[in-house]
A and B are shown apart, each in its own frame.
Chain A
Amino acid sequence: MEKVDCIVVGGGLAGLSAAYGLASEGLEVIVVERGDYSGAKNVTGGRLYVSPIRDLYPELWESAPFERHVAREFVTLMGEGASTTVELASDRFASAPHQSYTVLRARLDQWLADQVLEKGGMVITKNRVDEILRDESGKVIGIRAGDDEIGADVTIIAEGVLGLLSSKIGLREEPVARDHALGYKEILELPPSVIQDRWHLNEGEGAAHLFMGEVTKGMMGGGFLYTNKDSISLGIVVGMQAMRDRTDKIESHTLLDAFKELPQIKPLVDGGTLVEYSAHAIPEGGIEKVPKLYGEGYLMVGDAAGLSLNALITVRGMDFAIASGFYAARAVVDAKAAGDLSAAGLARYEQSLRSSFVLKDLETARHIPHTIENPRLFTHYPKAVSGLLEKLFTIGPQPAKKLSSTVIGGVRKDFMNVTTMKELWAMRKI
């Protein structure tokens, strides 16, 4: 069996980031990717937060094919028949260094694969890894792809959210509905000038827009809209368990069609040409569902390791993927230099993730997954906020009530009750 320093299972951002770090240090690394090219099987909402990872690979970002830097944040709370939008225009977000960018994965991942090649790493596409190989002791010793076996000192498992290969050999659990969401989206082409007009942007600037409430019919999740250079990504994220818990069994794909037809959305997407429809699962189990990150002969990175975080108004995963790849590469390089590639030597990977933002942010957000399971966050509150504002703005045939009594009455009815107090109390943990 041919043998190299490192095999990477999967050429997405986590795997490529690891390969880039390894190849930069002169290690032999082979990435095996099942798509025709890196990114061919990947989907993002999305947006990449570069701030947390900028210093990990400082030389890298200058040439990255980002779409737009996000200068404006929009959040819309949607009730039935009324919605409330908050628009944040931040000078800080609009100026360099930009904290986040909209991205398209087929472009971004191919570019990162090219950077790996430039550093002397190998990326084999159009090949599915069929098996993670182990010896009698259980140590991971490489992979099998079709009839080919390749051995490695360390196998970096970057196979993505489903973890089919690693769960098969007990390196992690099989994915379950409660810990996962379905994300799916349309890409609609629009001229850059139209995008800039509709989202109040200067040239090159982008917008991120999240929608809560009616969009998912009260199911955990929401709608999203990101502006790319000459297209928008419009989609839905919905909890898999939430879909199951609903008695009326809404077909998931119809939510997106209904979303597009909403009076608040229709003018935003008007004239857009649909060019692609895509879907992907998202790990949302939080820190409690992160598997063991290393063992004899392997490390686990990115979505395969459950490294993502839905904190409702910030949704992250790709920054965790790239950072975990970076720390995985560094752990292998350091372990090799120390002459100890055993699990004990590779343990430094988990240590470095613990002292980095990756596991720190997941730890901070420990209680978010349970808290956002509460369906009232997606039904009662978006409706109540818009309902109260609607009252304030209404001039009807009857003499108006005092402003203060409208506010107090509305707040009393929808927010000053035992359920809300309990929910607020539960939210102190997040």
Chain B
Amino acid sequence: MNIEAKLGLDVFKIDKERHITIDVEVCKAVCTDKACLYVCPAHLYEIDDQGNNTVNFEGCLECGTCLISCDHRALTWHYPRGEYGVQYRMG
């Protein structure tokens, strides 16, 4: 089962407000490692056609690994608002 299908099993209540925003300029100008692309266990980060880093915040498991791993503080990251985000049924 691929990662998208796995995430499809989880309960997400998706907010229209993003809880992760990327400072794309910092990513482009300073970051060579792009840890977010490979540390995220939900594989939510991608470089788009324009070469910009993007995140599909809707599938976020809220572990914070991307935030902890970003040396360049390019992420503004907070938990989704109450009533939103992943709701684990088992945990």
Residues of A near any B CB (own CB < 8 A)? 34-37, 39-44, 104-107, 109, 125-128, 145-146, 161-162, 164, 175-177, 180, 182, 184, 186-187, 231, 240, 243-244, 249-253, 274-281
Contacts and interface: CB of A to CB of B under 8 A. Distances in A.
B87 to A, nearest CB: 4
Given A34-B79, A164-B79, 7 more contacts: A125-B82, A182-B65, A250-B38, A251-B37, A253-B41, A277-B42, A278-B91
Which of B3, B35, B79, B85 gathers most chain A CB within 10 Å? B79
B91 A42 contact: yes
A275 B79 contact: no
B18 interface: no
Which of B13, B38, B67, B88 gathers most chain A CB within 10 Å? B88
A44 B78 CA distance: 21
Contacts of A125: 82
Contact of B90 (A36, A182, A276): A276
B72 interface: no
A107 B90 CA distance: 7
B29 interface: no
Interface of B: 1, 3, 6-7, 9-10, 13, 33, 35, 37-43, 61-65, 67-69, 78-83, 85-91
Contact of A244 (B7, B35, B63, B79): B35
A251 B78 CA distance: 23
A312 B64 CA distance: 23
A74 B68 CA distance: 32
A244 B33 contact: yes
A278 B42 CA distance: 9
Contact of A240 (B6, B42, B68): B68
A277 B9 contact: yes
Which of A41, A127, A145, A180 gathers most chain B CB within 10 Å? A41
Contacts of A35: 87
27 contacts: A40-B87, A40-B91, A44-B91, A104-B91, A107-B90, A128-B81, A146-B82, A164-B79, A182-B39, A184-B41, A184-B63, A231-B90, A243-B35, A243-B38, A243-B39, A249-B37, A250-B38, A251-B43, A253-B43, A276-B9, A277-B7, A277-B42, A278-B90, A278-B91, A280-B63, A281-B64, A281-B65
Nearest to B59: A277
A105 B88 contact: yes
A251 B43 CA distance: 8
Contacts of A109: 91
Contact of B67 (A40, A162, A251): A162
Contacts of B38: 243, 249-252
Nearest to B35: A244
B87 A36 contact: yes
Contacts of A175: 64, 67-68
B86 A41 contact: yes
Closest 6 CB pairs of A and B: A105-B91, A277-B6, A279-B61, A279-B63, A279-B41, A184-B41
A126 B88 contact: no
Contacts of A104: 90-91
B88 A276 contact: yes
A244 B64 contact: no
A138 to B, nearest CB: 23
Given A106-B88, A175-B64, A274 B1 contact: yes
A243 B40 CA distance: 11
Contacts of B68: 162, 175-177, 180, 240, 281
Nearest to A233: B90
A35 B86 CA distance: 8
